[in-house]
Each structure stands twice: as structure tokens, then as C-alpha cells.
Structure 1
Amino acid sequence: MSPVVKWWSRLAAMVTGAVLTLVVPVHAWAASNGVADVAIEAAKARRRRGGFGFFGIFGGLCCLFVVAAIVLVIVLVSRNRKRK
């Protein structure tokens, strides 16, 4: 197998694992405690109000920080593997 295919398959497995690790428990939690109703009401209120507001910007920055942290961890782990 070529190095590109190995790299791509490892990356795909890592992303899939991270997504399943984060999404499945959050979805189960949200479905079990009535958060879905609150989310629907919040979405309706947001459409009436319009715009992103403070929490939209804060949510976007939070998402960027989480993605940056994941990328940083991946880079650090891959560097440590090459040194051995």
C-alpha cells in the first residue's frame, strides 16, 4: 500500500472515531432529556430575532478552538511517533 493511502485511511479512521466519540453520547443525552424541544424553540426564536448575536459568534469561536485543539493533538502525536 502506498504511503498516501495509509495516511488517508488513518486520517479517515481518526476523524470517524472522533466524530462517533463526540456525536453519539451527545445525541443520546439530548434525545433523553427534552433538549430537542428547547432546541426547536431556540431555532424559532432565532429566526424571529435574526442575526448571529453574541452567542453565535461565541459558538463559532468555540468550534474553531476545538478544531484547532484536535489538530494540535494530532500533530503532536504524529511527531512523537516519528522520533522513536
Structure 2
Amino acid sequence: MSGSSHGHTPAAWTGVIIAFIGFCIAGVFMVAAQPLGFWAGMVVVLLGGAVGGIMRMMGLGQPKQNHPVHQVAGEREPAGAKG
């Protein structure tokens, strides 16, 4: 996927950073045996996904039509086909 900008958008970075912070919070409270703090960290993880999704809907994510995974197979020659 050379040249792909998959994941290099403000929406992706923001969502992942918030989720990572939530994961760290949950990990600290899990070791400290504090269930309420653990679940608070898990809420922050979910918040990261929601923020990333909202930012994508606002146009700060990568549009689907530019992503190589979303190409239709009929648009290119099948693998191994010799013309």
C-alpha cells in the first residue's frame, strides 16, 4: 500500500489518541484494583471511537472512494490473467 494515506487523517489520529489515553487509564485502575476507574477508562476508549467517527462525518477523515480496499474488482484485470 505504498502511497496510501490510510489512517493519516485528523479524525484517525484524534480517535486513536483518545482511545489510547482511555486504555492507559483503564490499565492503571485495573492494576490498582479499582473497578470504577477501570470502567471510566473504558468509557474514554469508547469516546475516542465516537469522536473519530464524528470527525470523519465532518469531513476530517479519508473519503471511501480514494481507499484501495473499496475498489470494485471489475475495474481491474484479475490476478494471473494474461492478456
Q: TM-score if structure 2 supplies the norm length?
A: 0.35
Going by fraction, where is helix more abundant, 1 or 2? 1
Q: TM-score if structure 1 supplies the norm length?
A: 0.34
- Taking CA–CA contacts closer than 8 Å with sequence separation of 6 or more, which of the two structures ends up with the larger relative contact order? 2
